[in-house]
Amino acid sequence: MKIPRRHFLKQVASVGSLALTGCASLDSFFASDKKDFGKEVLIIGAGAAGLMAAHTLKKNRIPYRLFEASSRPGGRLYTLENADGSHLDMGAEFFESHHRLVFELLKEFQIDWEERVFNPAISPLWQSTNGQVLMDVEYQKISSHFISQFIQNRIQTFGSVGIGSENVPILSPLLAEEMDSYSITQYLNAHWVQPDERVSAYWDAWSRSHYSAEANRISALRWLWDQQSDKKTKSFYKIKGGWGQLVHLLYERAAGVIPDHLIRLNWNLVAMRRAKNSFQCVFRTPQGTQVLEAENLILALPINQYQKIDGLMKIDITDQKKKAFTQIQLGESAKTYVSFNPSEVALKLSPNDLAKLPQILRDQVQISSTSVSDSKIWLGGLRSGQQAQWTLPDIENWRAGLLNTNSTNSFEYQVINWKDRPFIQGARSLWAPGQWGLYSKAFESSDFDDHLQWAGEHVPAQEKGSVHAALVSGQTAALKLIEKLSSSRSS
């Protein structure tokens, strides 16, 4: 429904000064939908990267439009709120102390967070269903030679910089190439003097929880970079109320006051081509096919979705990017939360065990998190890798295995299998052996004289796969376009 101009101006006056998108006038808000957006920025994908790009453009008064193929924003940032008031993060959950941009956004939007401290010196690294436990002290004892070799390789390759550092040079290209040729499993087998099945199981569990793929599918060079060379107390952070709060506020800020104007949901980019000095984008929408044109574009989709866009492989972007579209896959993850009534059943997990989350693994399931309300305990189970799938029998069996007593009481559960979600179909980008050296920096470079920018968790050269990486990539893409547009205006 079109809002009358007089009524709209009254609304604006009643709420004070509103920064819509930085347009020179309000004319575009009263005109019918146009097809040629000129220098406005089209952002494709409303996950963390796309929302952050829109937020950055808006703060700098650059006009944009944001398009999302699914029916909701946020991508893998997805929080469910239950009737009992508990909040369950069904996708990404934790962030870390060096994730500067996450903290800045939470402070800007006045969102609270909480700290979870993990001290490996007193916690088990790994615990199996049959009771096998690998304590950190024992791990250090049986792996002294391997740890020495590991630290040496890391320093030789990257120097002594820590996780989260930017613009890190590779000091030894030959060693980096060798490390990239190994999988994590192959690297362990090559350098471990006294192999231990528990160690292999621990690193496979670690790989599935951090990369959503088994250790034999991940480049050892990527793993080498992500690891700290020491075992100090580490903090994880979790948003109170879940990531959905940040998604909601970013979406509201980017959408402005007119519904479905600056952000369009259920608009799927199916084809694109280069036309003179602009991009023609073909969308499949609830109203049929729509063709839009603009000079500036930010593509912020999961990397496995680009090969579905007709014409993208024909435009003049680097061959390296085109190969990455078909070769880099997404790891797979699936999460469930099941409810327990504290007054009726007792968990096999003690309060001390719960405090050690998310380090415990049972039945190839990582216990990811807990959410406690007045009436229920919700326990999260994460499955990752090629067998990442939750069915109802799986959920029932897993829950029963966590109880001290047999219980026939009904229970509630929430579940999501990300590989079954259209337009996502997985989790974070999977960097197989040989791919890190080839593609890790491929998407940091823009195309068409900076008119085409890339964003997403796969874009930053460092720390791929995290929410922070996605946010940083969206901000960086927007800032590059802002600089481009500013220089063209001044000239």
The pLDDT score that the predictor gives to residue 120 is 62
Are the beta carbons of 337 and 380 closer than 8 angstroms?
yes
- Phi, psi at 135, each rounded to 5°: -85, 155
Give per-residue pLDDT as tens, 141-151.
Answer: 888 888 888 88
The pLDDT score that the predictor gives to residue 233 is 56
Tell whether 435 and 319 lie within a shared domain: yes
Tell me the CATH number at 46: 3.50.50.60
Tell whether 148 and 181 lie within a shared domain: yes
Residue 231: which of 122, 336, 323 has the closest Cα? 122
The pLDDT score that the predictor gives to residue 22 is 40
**Who wins on pLDDT, 366 or 38?**
38
**438 confidence band (pLDDT: 50, 70, 90):** very high
Domain containing 228: what range? 124-232
**Who wins on pLDDT, 193 or 243?**
243
Q: Is the residue at 416 inside a domain?
A: no
Tell whether 134 and 35 lie within a shared domain: no
pLDDT of 75 > 60? The answer is yes
Question: Long-range contacts made by residues 316-325, C-beta under 8 angstroms, separation at least 24?
Answer: 316/274, 316/447, 316/448, 317/447, 317/452, 318/442, 318/445, 318/447, 320/438, 320/439, 320/442, 321/442, 321/443, 321/454, 323/438, 323/439, 324/438, 324/439, 324/442, 324/443
Give per-residue pLDDT as tens, 101-156.
Answer: 999 999 999 999 999 776 666 667 777 767 777 887 888 888 888 888 888 888 88
Q: In the listed set 198, 232, 266, which residue is the last one of a domain according to the structure?
A: 232
- How many whole angstroms separate alpha carbon 314 and alpha carbon 121? 54
The pLDDT score that the predictor gives to residue 27 is 42
The pLDDT score that the predictor gives to residue 18 is 36
The pLDDT score that the predictor gives to residue 345 is 61
**32 confidence band (pLDDT: 50, 70, 90):** very low
pLDDT of 372 > 60? The answer is yes
Q: Is the residue at 293 inside a domain?
A: yes
Tell whether 225 and 128 lie within a shared domain: yes
- Rounded to the nearest integer, the mean pLDDT of the chain is 84
Q: What is the mean pLDDT of residues 269-298?
A: 95
Q: Is the residue at 415 inside a domain?
A: no
Q: Is the residue at 374 inside a domain?
A: no
What is the number of structural domains in the chain?
2
Tell whether 189 and 43 lie within a shared domain: no
| Burial class for 148, CB neighbours closer than 10 Å (0-12, 13-18, 19+) | exposed
Tell whether 313 and 284 lie within a shared domain: yes
Give per-residue pLDDT as tens, 191-218.
Answer: 887 778 888 888 888 898 889 999 999 9
The pLDDT score that the predictor gives to residue 161 is 63
Are the beta carbons of 403 and 341 closer than 8 angstroms?
no
Tell whether 224 and 144 lie within a shared domain: yes
The pLDDT score that the predictor gives to residue 63 is 95
pLDDT of 490 > 50? The answer is yes
Within 47-168, strands assigned E span: 64-68, 79-81, 87-89, 94-96, 113-118, 124-127, 133-135
Q: What is the mean pLDDT of residues 447-475?
A: 93
pLDDT of 7 > 70? The answer is no
**Who wins on pLDDT, 332 or 230?**
332
Q: What is the mean pLDDT of residues 294-317?
A: 96
Tell whether 227 and 254 lie within a shared domain: no
**91 confidence band (pLDDT: 50, 70, 90):** very high
Q: What is the mean pLDDT of residues 251-278?
A: 94
Q: Is the residue at 357 inside a domain?
A: no
Tell me the CATH number at 205: 1.10.405
Q: What is the mean pLDDT of residues 37-48?
A: 95
Q: Is the residue at 105 inside a domain?
A: no
pTM of the model: 0.89
The pLDDT score that the predictor gives to residue 356 is 55
pLDDT of 435 > 80? The answer is yes
Tell whether 227 and 304 lie within a shared domain: no
Give per-residue pLDDT as tens, 308-345.
Answer: 999 999 999 999 999 999 999 999 999 999 988 876 66
- Least confident span in 19-23, 125-129, 218-222, 419-423: 19-23
Q: Is the residue at 80 inside a domain?
A: no
Tell whether 322 and 440 lie within a shared domain: yes
Tell whether 180 and 249 lie within a shared domain: no
Tell whether 222 and 255 lie within a shared domain: no
Q: Is the residue at 167 inside a domain?
A: yes
